[in-house]
Structure formats: structure tokens, C-alpha cells
């Protein structure tokens, strides 16, 4: 039956015409939508470039005045007196060492605990336990970093003084512990996701070969979920390097190279945060803080790129 | 001859639905028991009760008995040890995320064999038996998951053989394998029968006819009948058996 002239008393044909019209519109806007999506995709790259440019411009005024290498220079000195207008010194060695030391301690705590918790939740916990633990992890992830700072100062600090005899409660170890605790929920939730993404058929195949649960985890799940597990750890490292508020409170904020775990240290982030309020807009002091920011940006980019190279390299070799 | 593998009034329920209903049959040592039947009739469930991989399905309830050499499998204290006695080949190929070599060497290593020459020998033998050796001998370090579907299926077979099992369960092993390779594997299985008892679940009635010493026909979770292959194909007791085996429904 021809339906080229749909009228009000032939609803199916009319509907067909209406649908065809919508389909026609959808066809015609496909191109603009594609452009829009493309713009959204590229915007992340533009944003990164813009942030980099912004920080670089902020740092620009002081860059020619900084001595980078050599004695008492940017990368070799722990003397940071950027506020001093007449005889400033810019030495970030202590901050860099502090940053990496705190992050390293944090990861020593967070990676084993986080992965173990993820394995427990994904492979061993019953379904009710699993739900409760996941809620707990989410709550843990939502605790503001300033609250962690309070915990560091009022609980961990005094405990460290009591049990280790440390002179100051706020120190490298304290910062590491707090950052570790903060990173755990990130690592757990991402690692658990990637373990859960491993098909059950792998587990069953290994179990059918007579493997027990621990062997399944070690021989099958870890290799299969390697990419996601590494990514979860890198996310933890990223948080540990970039975290500011809790670290500012927990580490003691002293620009020095620590001799022991119980020495106060500072980090690049904490240095910026603690001095930003005093810095006059447009001053060399402000620009020098931007310089620290620039360094931080480069370090985090480098870490992320390394992780990406690792993951890509692994994918090329053929991991799922 | 005493039965190697016995099912006694075996009933499996998934929730309220019966997947197997009072199955009683047995397989003598060094024979092939071929199990045929339409999809979803409970054949795979039956295999899972043998090595207790049915335990992974939390809603599954098992009643009755499965006995291996007279011993009830659910009363065995070490389920892992039980599974090592039974080779299992799933219908969907599962290459573990390990190299081809490690896939096959996994079970022997677990049994404590670490001598390289001995492992090489086992890996080659198992891969030859599963008619995969010629295709992978030059790339044993390739990830098992990278092989084609049919190759992964044969890899699964090689892995099952690496256990040196006393019972080998095959669940539609030839689903993704071409007819020529299938025939080669069937020859190998016929040879392996001297060492083990084989339970072959298949959709191909002709494969059951070629391979089976006994044939069992399961339909709608019931064991319709089972018996010698010739009798089942030439003079089945039930009319429905004859119709299924002749390909009139399925």
C-alpha cells in the first residue's frame, strides 16, 4: 500500500514520516556533532598546555635571576629565602628530597596495604562484607585532606613522639603515614575494579587445574590485571606527590635534607602553600613560587608519562 | 569391571530449577562415555559436579553422589587435589594470561617439576597430543590469550593433559576446531584411552558414535537412556533417543 501522502487518518504512515524526518535531522547534524565531540576531546590537551603556559608566565620574571646548577643554586641548595628582596636565595633541594621521601614512605605503606585490601574485597570477601567495605573505602576517600592534617598533628604526631622518642611529632614519617592512608582508598578502588574486570573464566580455568585461591591471585589475576594495578599505584603516587594541605601540617615544614625518618621536612607543594599568602602580586617572591609550581608540574608529568610508557609497552607485548 | 566414575541419583538444582534430575550411570576405567543432548539439558553441569567446579556457582545445590573409584567427591578433604586428578576442557577456550609454554607447564610446575628438559618434554608431548605443536612450536613465548579461538581450545586441551589426569572431561572441545584437526584429536583421544577414562560431552552425535564406548542421552535434565554405542544408535529403547541421534530434533 503506497503511503507517500500521509494524512491524519493513517497514523502508522504518519508516524513513519515523522520518524523519517527525525532520522533526516539526525543525519544532517552528524557532522556538527562530530566536530563538537572532537573539540571536547582536544580541549583536555589545550587545557594542559594552557596551565603549563600560565605557570610558565607566572614564573617568567624570576627565571633569569635564578642560578640553576652549581654551588648554592636552585637544584643544589636547601636555602630558600625568596621573601628577602635584597639578597634572595632560591634552593629547592630540600623540598624535592622531602617530596620524594614522603611519597616513598607513603607508597611503602599504601601499595601493599591497598593491593592486599583490593584482593580481599574482590576475591575473598562475601557479598555483604564486600558492600560494606566498599562503602567504607568510599567514605575514606571522601575525607578532606585538612582533616587528615588534624589527625597527623593531634594523633599520629604525639604517638610518634611517645613511641619513637622523636623530638618533633610532625616529620617525614608522619607525613608518609598520613599520605599513605590517604592514598589507600584510591589504590583499593582502582585495583579492585581491575581485578573484578578479569573474566571469571580465568579463575575457573586455573581452579580446574587444581590451583588454590592464593595461586589464582598470584599466577593468574595479577598478570591479567597488571595494567590496572600499575595504574592504581601510579594514581597513588600522583596523589602522594601532589597532596598539599595534610603534608603541610604533617611534615613540620622545614626545608632540609632529612637524616632520619623522624626529621621534619617540607615538600614543593607545602612550600608554595605556606608562602603564597605572604607573596606580593608581581613580586619576584610570587614568581619564585610559580617556579616551584612549574617544577612540580614537570615532575608529575614525567611520572605520568613514565607510567604510560610502561603500560603501553606492556600492552604491546600482548597483555589484555 | 568396577566403575571408575559413577553418578548415583545425582540431582542438581539452580535455585528452584532442576538442572539434573536423579542421574545414575557409570563409566568403566579406560572407556569413553559420550554424553549427548540438546543445549541446556544439563550436560555441562554434569561435568562440573565431577571436579566440583560446580562449587563456584553459589546457587547450585547438589544431591546424590559422584564417585571416583568408589570415593565420593564431596567427601574428599582436598578439593584442589581432586581437581588435579581430572582434566577439564571447557567449551569456550580459555588461554590463561601466560605464555603458551607456561600455560602447559603450569600444572607440572605446581607438582614440583622444575627440570627444564623434563618440562620441555611434557610441554611438547601435550601440545603434540592436542595437535597444536606444529602451529606454536616457534612461538612458545607468545601469550596464550593471543592465539586464535581454535588454537586456544587446543591449548586448553594441552593444559588438561599436562595434569596427566585419570579422568579427562571434554565439553564440546571441537566447537571452534576444523573437521580435519578434530579428527586428528579424536585419534589421539582414542590412544589416550589406554591411560585414562574420558567423558565426552558433544553436540555432534556422529562424534559420540565414533568415540563412545557408551553413549548417554540427556534431555531436559533427565537421563533418557544410556548404553552401548551400537545399541543406542541401532536399537534405542526409547523412541525419542532414536529421533535425536538421527538428527530429527536437537
- CB–CB contacts below 8 A, A to B: 68
- Residue-wise pLDDT for A124-143, tens only, equals 998 899 999 999 999 999 99
Contact of A131 with chain B, judged by CB distance below 8 Å, is answered with no
**pLDDT value for A14:** 57
Contact B106 A219 (CB under 8 A): yes
Is 90 exceeded by the pLDDT of residue A121?
A: yes
pLDDT of residue A8: 47
Nearest-neighbour CA in chain B from A305: distance (Å):
26
Residue of B nearest to A213 (CA): B80
Choose between B143 and A102: higher pLDDT: A102
Which overall architecture, per CATH, does domain A80-316 show? Answer: Orthogonal Bundle (1.10)
- What whole-number percentage of chain A has pLDDT above 70? 92
The pLDDT, as a whole number, for residue A320 is: 40
Choose the closest CB to A212 out of B80, B90, B156. Answer: B80
Cα distance between residue B43 and residue B122, in whole Å = 31
What's the pLDDT score for residue B90?
Answer: 82
pLDDT at residue A1 in the model: 44
pLDDT attached to residue A316? 55
Q: Looking at the predicted structure, is the pLDDT value of residue A30 above 80?
A: yes
What are the pLDDT digits (tens) for B204-241?
899 999 999 999 999 999 999 999 999 999 999 999 99
Q: Does A146 touch chain B (CB under 8 A)?
A: no
Helix (H, G, I), strand (E, B) or coil at A126: coil
User: Is the residue at B125 inside a domain?
Assistant: yes
Alpha carbons A286 and A278: distance in angstroms, whole number: 9
Residue B149: band (very low, low, confident or very high) from pLDDT cuts 50, 70, 90: confident
The pLDDT assigned to B36 comes to 93
A288 pLDDT band, cuts 50/70/90, is: very high
What pLDDT does residue A246 have? 92
Enumerate the residues of chain A whose CB falls inside 8 A of the CB of residue B171. Answer: none
b/e map B26-64, b = 16+ CB within 10 Å: bbeebbbbbbbbeeebbbbbbbbbbbbbbeeeeebebeb
Do strands B32-36 and B197-201 pair parallel, antiparallel, or not at all (unpaired)? parallel
Contact A111, A181 (CB under 8 A): no
| The pLDDT value given to residue A315 | 62
Has residue A309 got a pLDDT over 80?
A: yes
**What is the rounded average pLDDT of the residues A143-160?**
94
B91 domain-assigned: no
- Summarize the confidence of residues B7-33 as an average pLDDT: 94
Contact B18, B12 (CB under 8 A): yes
Q: Which of A138, A230, A224, A161 is nearest to A191 (CA)?
A: A230
Q: Which residues of A touch B107 (CB under 8 A)?
A: 209-210
Do A204 and B90 make contact, defined as CB atoms within 8 angstroms?
A: yes
Q: Which residue of B has its CA nearest to A126?
A: B58
Give the pLDDT mean for B155-163. Answer: 91
User: Does residue B106 lie in a domain region?
Assistant: yes
pLDDT of residue B138: 92
Instruction: Residue A320: name the closest of A234, A220, A235, A204 by CA.
Output: A220
Contact B56 A200 (CB under 8 A): yes
In a domain, B189, yes or no: no
| Residue B1: predicted pLDDT | 56
Would the pLDDT of B8 be above 90?
yes
Query: What is the structure's pLDDT at A28?
Result: 84
A315/chain B closest Cα distance in angstroms: 11
The whole-number average pLDDT for the span A54-70 is: 91
Task: Give me chain B's average pLDDT, please.
Answer: 90
Determine which of A209, A213, A214, A317 to mutate to test the interface with B (most B C-beta atoms within 10 Å).
A209
The per-residue pLDDT for range B43-82, each reduced to its tens digit, is 999 999 999 989 888 899 999 999 999 999 999 999 988 9
Average pLDDT for A281-296: 93
Give chain B's domain count.
1
Say if B131 falls within a structural domain: yes
Distance from CA of B173 to the nearest CA of A (A): 14
Nearest-Cα residue of chain A relative to residue B105: A209
pLDDT tops 60 at residue B126: yes
What stretches of B71-179 adopt beta strand conformation (E)? 71-72, 86-89, 167-171
pLDDT grade for A11, boundaries at 50, 70 and 90: low
Determine the distance in angstroms separating the CA of A171 from the nearest CA of chain B, rounded to an integer: 43
- Total Cβ atoms within 10 A of residue A70: 10
Give residue B30's pLDDT.
Answer: 93
| ipTM surpasses cut 0.90 | no
Q: pLDDT (tens digit, 9 = 90+) per residue, A250-275?
A: 998 888 899 999 999 999 999 999 99
pLDDT at res. A6:
46
Contact indicator for A200, A206 with CB cutoff of 8 Å: no
The answer on pLDDT for B106 being more than 60 is yes
CB contact residues (below 8 A), chain A span 198-257, against chain B = 199-212, 215, 219-220, 223-224
Q: Give the model's pLDDT for residue A3.
A: 47
- Identity of the residue in A207, A219, A319 whose CB atom sits nearest the CB atom of B83: A207
| Element containing residue A230 per DSSP (H, E) | helix A226-242
Closest partner CB to B96 (pick from A220, A318, A319): A220
What is the percent of chain B with per-residue pLDDT over 70, rounded to a whole number?
Answer: 98
Cβ-defined contact of B97 to A211 (cutoff 8 Å): no
| Full residue range of the structural domain in which residue B145 is found | 100-164
Domain ranges of chain A: 11-65, 80-316
The answer, yes or no, to whether residue A122 has pLDDT greater than 60, is yes
> Residue B22's pLDDT is what?
93
Q: Which of B92, B110, B146 sits opposite A210 (nearest CB)?
A: B110
Classify residue B196 by its DSSP letter: S
Name which of A45-59, A76-90, B108-122 the model is least confident about: A76-90
Q: Which of A88, A118, A98 is nearest to A286 (CA)?
A: A88
> What pLDDT does A83 receive?
84
**Exposure of B183 by Cβ count < 10 A (0-12 exposed, 13-18 middle, 19+ buried)?**
middle
Q: Which three cell numbers stand for residue B51?
A: 571436579
Mean pLDDT of A73-96: 88
Say if the Cβ atoms of B97 and A201 lie within 8 Å.
Answer: no
Q: What would the pLDDT profile of B182-194 be if each residue is shown by its tens digit?
A: 898 898 899 889 9
Candidates A200, A205, A319; nearest CB to B96: A205
This model's pTM is above 0.80: no
Amino acid at each position: 500500500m503506497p503511503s507517500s501522502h500521509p494524512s491524519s487518518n493513517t497514523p502508522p504512515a504518519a508516524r513513519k514520516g515523522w520518524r523519517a524526518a527525525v532520522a533526516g535531522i539526525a543525519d544532517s547534524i552528524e557532522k556538527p556533532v562530530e566536530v563538537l565531540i572532537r573539540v571536547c576531546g582536544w580541549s583536555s590537551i589545550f587545557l594542559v598546555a594552557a596551565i603549563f603556559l600560565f605557570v610558565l608566565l607566572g614564573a617568567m620574571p624570576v627565571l633569569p635571576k635564578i642560578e640553576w646548577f652549581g654551588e648554592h643554586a636552585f637544584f643544589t641548595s636547601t636555602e630558600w629565602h625568596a621573601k628577602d628582596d635584597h639578597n634572595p636565595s632560591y634552593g629547592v633541594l630540600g623540598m624535592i628530597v622531602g617530596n620524594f621521601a614522603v611519597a616513598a614512605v607513603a607508597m611503602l605503606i599504601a601499595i601493599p596495604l591497598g593491593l592486599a585490601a583490593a584482593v580481599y574485597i574482590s576475591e575473598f570477601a562475601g557479598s555483604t562484607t564486600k558492600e560494606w567495605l566498599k562503602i567504607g573505602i568510599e567514605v575514606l576517600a571522601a575525607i578532606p585532606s585538612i582533616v587528615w592534617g588534624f589527625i597527623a598533628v593531634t594523633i599520629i604526631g604525639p604517638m610518634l613522639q611517645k613511641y619513637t622518642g622523636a623530638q618533633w611529632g610532625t616529620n617525614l614519617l608522619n607525613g608518609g603515614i598520613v599520605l599513605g592512608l590517604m592514598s589507600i582508598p584510591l589504590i583499593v578502588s582502582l585495583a579492585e575494579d581491575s581485578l573484578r574486570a578479569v573474566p571469571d573464566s580465568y579463575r575457573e580455568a586455573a581452579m580446574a587445574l587444581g590451583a588454590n585461591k592464593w595461586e589464582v591471585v598470584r599466577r593468574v589475576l595479577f598478570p591479567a590485571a597488571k595494567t590496572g594495578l600499575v595504574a592504581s599505584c601510579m594514581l597513588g603516587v600522583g596523589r602522594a606527590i601532589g597532596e598539599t594541605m595534610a603534608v603541610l601540617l604533617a611534615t613540620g615544614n622545614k626545608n632540609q635534607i632529612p637524616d632520619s625518618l623522624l626529621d621534619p621536612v617540607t615538600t614543593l607543594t607545602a612550600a608554595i602553600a605556606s608562602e603564597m599568602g605572604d607573596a606580593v602580586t608581581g613580586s619576584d617572591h610570587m614568581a619564585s613560587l610559580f617556579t616551584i609550581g612549574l617544577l612540580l608540574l614537570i615532575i608529575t608529568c614525567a611520572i605520568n608519562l613514565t607510567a604510560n610508557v610502561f603500560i603501553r609497552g606492556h600492552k604491546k607485548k600482548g597483555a589484555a | 569391571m568396577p566403575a571408575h566414575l559413577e553418578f548415583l541419583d545425582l540431582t542438581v538444582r539452580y535455585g528452584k530449577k532442576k538442572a539434573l534430575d536423579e542421574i545414575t550411570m557409570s563409566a568403566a576405567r579406560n572407556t569413553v562415555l559420550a554424553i549427548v543432548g540438546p543445549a541446556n539439558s544439563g550436560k555441562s553441569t554434569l561435568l562440573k559436579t565431577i571436579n566440583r567446579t560446580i562449587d563456584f556457582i553459589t546457587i547450585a545445590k547438589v544431591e546424590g553422589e559422584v564417585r571416583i573409584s568408589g570415593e565420593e567427591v564431596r567427601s574428599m578433604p582436598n578439593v584442589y587435589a581432586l581437581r588435579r586428578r581430572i582434566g577439564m576442557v571447557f567449551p569456550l577456550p580459555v588461554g590463561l594470561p601466560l605464555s603458551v609454554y607456561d600455560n602447559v607447564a603450569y600444572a607440572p610446575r605446581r607438582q614440583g617439576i622444575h627440570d627444564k628438559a623434563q618440562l620441555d618434554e611434557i610441554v611438547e608431548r601435550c601440545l603434540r597430543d592436542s595437535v597444536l605443536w606444529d602451529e606454536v612450536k616457534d612461538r612458545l613465548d607468545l601469550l596464550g590469550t593471543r592465539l586464535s579461538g581454535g588454537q586456544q581450545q587446543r591449548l586448553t586441551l594441552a593444559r588438561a593433559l599436562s595434569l596427566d589426569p585419570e579422568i579427562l572431561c571434554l565439553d564440546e572441545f571441537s566447537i571452534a576446531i576444523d573437521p580435519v584437526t578434530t579428527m586428528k584429536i579424536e585419534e589421539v583421544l582414542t590412544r589416550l584411552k589406554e591411560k585414562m577414562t574420558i567423558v565426552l560431552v558433544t553436540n555432534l552425535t556422529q562424534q559420540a558414535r565414533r568415540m563412545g564406548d557408551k553413549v548417554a542421552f540427556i534431555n531436559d535434565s533427565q537421563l533418557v537412556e544410556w548404553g552401548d554405542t551400537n545399541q543406542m544408535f541401532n536399537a534405542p529403547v526409547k523412541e525419542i533417543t532414536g529421533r535425536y541421534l538421527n538428527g530429527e530434533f536437537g
